Amino acid sequence: MKELVELYNPLLYVTSNFFIIPTLLSLYFERFDVFWMIFSVFITSLLRWGYGNEIKLYQYIDHSWVKIIFLHMVISAIYIINNHITDTEVFKAYCLLGFLLNIMFFYSIELFVYESSCPMLCVSYHMIVHFYTCFGFIFSLIIDYNYNQTWSFFLNSCIVLRKYIAYNLFNMSKDQ
C-alpha cells in the first residue's frame, strides 16, 4: 500500500506547485500577512512531496506546519465574525470558513480512504485539498483583515487568561 502511495507522489508534487499562484498574488496585492503563510506552506509542501520519501523530517515539518496555518486561518475567520468588522467582511469570513471546512472534509475523507486501502483515491482527495487551499488563500486576499493580528489577539487572550487564573487563585488562598 505504501509503495502505491509513493508511486503517486509526483502528482502531489505537481499540485504543490500550484501554491505559487496565491503566493505571487499575495505579493502582487502587497498582502504580506497572507504571503508568509502561503509561502511557508508552498515551501514545506514542495519539500515534502519532492523529497518526502528520502527525508522523513520534511513530512513531519509539512504535516505540523500546515495544521498550524489551518488553525490560524480558522481562528482568524472566527475573530472577524465575532468582532463584526463590517457586514461584507463577516460574509467573506463565513465564505472562508466554508473553504476551510471543505479542506477539513476532504482531508477526513482522504484519511478514511487511506485506511480502506485505496491509494489512488487517497491521492486524488489530497490533490483536491491542495486546490481548495489555493482557492482559500486566494479568497483570503479579498478580506480586509491583517492576519498577523490573530497572533497578537491569541497571545493577549492567553495573557489575560493567565492573569485571571492567577488572580482567582490568589484570592482563593486569601479567603481560606
The per-residue DSSP string of 83-150 comes to: HT--HHHHHHHHHHHHHHHHHHHHHHHHHHHHHTT-HHHHHHHHHHHHHHHHHHHHHHTTS---TTHH
Angle between helices 32-51 and 56-83 (to 10 degrees): 150
pLDDT digits (tens, 9 = 90+) for 59-78: 888 889 999 999 988 888 88
Which amino acid does the sequence have at 41?
V
Q: What is the average pLDDT across 74-99?
A: 85
pLDDT digits (tens, 9 = 90+) for 92-111: 889 999 999 999 999 999 88
Q: Is 124 within 8 Å of 116 (Cβ atoms)?
A: no
pLDDT digits (tens, 9 = 90+) for 153-163: 666 666 766 76
In this predicted structure, the answer to whether residue 140 has a pLDDT above a threshold of 80 is yes
C-alpha cell recorded at residue 26: 499575495
% pLDDT > 90, the chain: 32
Position 169 scores a pLDDT of: 65
Please report the DSSP string for 105-118 in residue order: HHHHHHHHHHHTT-
Is the model more confident about 53 or about 71? 71
